[in-house]
């Protein structure tokens, strides 16, 4: 096996358990709500606790990632968040569970800031969109496994045991990552200081990419957190059935969306340098009617079909936008670039959307709250159009 494929394999499997540990919480929301006597707002805050810490810590981890060897950060981060997931199962109160979920955010911040650039640098620029789309497959696959395992293990053994069982694979793959090599493209490290984040704020293309991702993340994060509960409440599904069906839809949509989005962007790249952005804005616009129809459907099968289409389109921009960030930022600052990207997309995305949707659910019902998250996707298409405009103006002639 070529070494770059080995890197891809290790990073991919760590990414899967990154999202398993992240989304298993949503699958067992009903069990935690009953056991700890929590409101929907508090349940949303549990999801937000992870995202808030993840968002705040990411810029600091990005700075570290551009100074020291990234495989060490990848491995130690995976071990740390996996231990924190295990400890989440020991929680006896809302405060304790919030604390341990926050620690999961610390670990995943270290991994998320360095892994995309580290992986991309092992492959030629011509194939990076598809490679980063494969990397992004971990989002739907890991999320689906989290929903499925969470629903099954939670109903069969209890929500605490579900956390215990998913913690160990992440620790194992974290150890593997500690022995990976740094990428050849990294070259000599230079002295980086926190103030250099300012240069990214003058990059209009970069900021619009991050804004587009934040809008998509707000909606998909809210849908991911609340759709299983929506099916339990609206259609009378069991926790296990809702977790399994939503998870199956998510993994299928994510696999197809990510792969097709990455390959389509690389193919269109032969004809237009704006390909990353065309894929993005078209899929944002296409996702909106599908999301609305999933709520208006008069049977479960039709609702799940439109959820599939919604997620399929949303996932398509992930690989192209990761590749775009690698292209428009210097190699010495890519960890910082992804760190700030993570900060923006989560601070204005899924760090707040589960709590906001939970609050609207308490006030107006879960249906109206999810409808709001669906319509919000419109703005992602608009910002993606502007991102493509500034890319042509500022960066296209440099590549």
Residue 189: predicted pLDDT = 54
Q: Quick one: pLDDT at residue 1?
A: 57
189 inside domain: no
Burial 370-393 (b: 16+ CB within 10 A, else e): bbebbebbebbbbbbbbbbebbee
* pLDDT at residue 396, as a whole number: 62
Residue 167: give its domain's CATH number: 1.20.1250.20
Question: Is 131:241 a contact under the CB 8 Å cutoff?
Answer: no
Please report whether residue 31 resides in a domain: yes
Return the number of other C-beta atoms located less than 10 Å from residue 158's C-beta. 15
Helix or strand run (H / E) with residue 369? helix 366-375
Please tell me the predicted confidence (pLDDT) of residue 309: 95
For residue 223, being part of any structural domain is answered with yes
Q: Say if residue 363 is exposed, middle or buried (CB neighbours under 10 Å; 0-12, 13-18, 19+).
A: exposed
Is residue 299 assigned to a domain?
Answer: yes
Confidence (pTM): 0.72
pLDDT at 5: 85
Q: Residue 192 domain-assigned?
A: no
Which residues of the chain fall short of a pLDDT of 50? none
211 in Cβ contact with 344 (< 8 Å): yes
Radius of gyration in angstroms for the set of CA atoms belonging to the chain, rounded to a whole number: 20
Number of domains in the chain: 1
Residue 190 lies in a domain: no
Q: Which domain holds residue 355?
A: 3-181+197-398
């Amino acid at each position: 096996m070529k070494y770059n494929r080995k890197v891809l394999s290790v990073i991919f499997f760590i990414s899967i358990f990154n999202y398993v540990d992240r989304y298993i919480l949503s699958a067992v929301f009903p069990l935690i709500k009953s056991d700890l006597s929590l409101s929907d707002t508090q349940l949303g805050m549990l999801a937000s606790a992870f995202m808030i810490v993840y968002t705040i810590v990411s810029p600091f981890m990005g700075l570290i990632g551009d100074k020291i060897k990234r495989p060490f950060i990848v491995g130690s981060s995976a071990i740390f968040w996996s231990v924190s997931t295990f400890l989440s199962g020991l929680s006896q109160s809302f405060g304790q569970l919030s604390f341990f979920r926050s620690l999961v955010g610390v670990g995943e911040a270290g991994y998320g800031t360095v892994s995309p650039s580290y992986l991309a640098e092992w492959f030629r620029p011509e194939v990076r969109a598809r490679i980063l789309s494969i990397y992004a497959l971990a989002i739907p696959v890991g999320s689906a496994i989290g929903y499925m395992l969470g629903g099954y293990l939670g109903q069969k053994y209890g929500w605490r045991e579900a956390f215990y069982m998913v913690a160990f694979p992440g620790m194992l793959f974290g150890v593997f990552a500690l022995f990976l090599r740094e990428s050849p493209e990294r070259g000599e490290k230079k002295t980086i200081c926190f103030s250099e984040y300012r240069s990214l704020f003058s990059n209009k293309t970069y900021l619009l990419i991050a804004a587009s991702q934040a809008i998509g993340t707000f909606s998909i994060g809210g849908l991911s957190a609340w759709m299983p509960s929506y099916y339990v409440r609206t259609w009378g599904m069991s926790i296990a059935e809702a977790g399994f069906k939503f998870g199956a839809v998510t993994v299928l949509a994510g696999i197809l969306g990510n792969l097709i989005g990455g390959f389509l962007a690389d193919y269109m790249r032969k004809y237009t340098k704006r390909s990353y952005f065309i894929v993005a804005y078209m899929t944002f616009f296409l996702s909106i009617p599908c999301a609305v129809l999933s709520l208006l459907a008069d049977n479960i099968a039709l609702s799940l079909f439109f959820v599939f289409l919604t997620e399929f389109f949303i996932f398509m921009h992930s690989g192209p936008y990761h590749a775009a960030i690698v292209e428009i930022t210097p190699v010495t600052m890519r960890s910082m670039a992804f760190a700030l990207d993570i900060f923006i997309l989560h601070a204005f995305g899924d760090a707040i959307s589960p709590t906001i949707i939970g609050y609207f659910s308490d006030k107006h019902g879960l249906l109206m709250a999810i409808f709001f998250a669906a319509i919000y996707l419109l703005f992602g298409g608009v910002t993606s159009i502007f991102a493509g405009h500034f890319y042509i103006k500022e960066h296209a002639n440099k590549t």
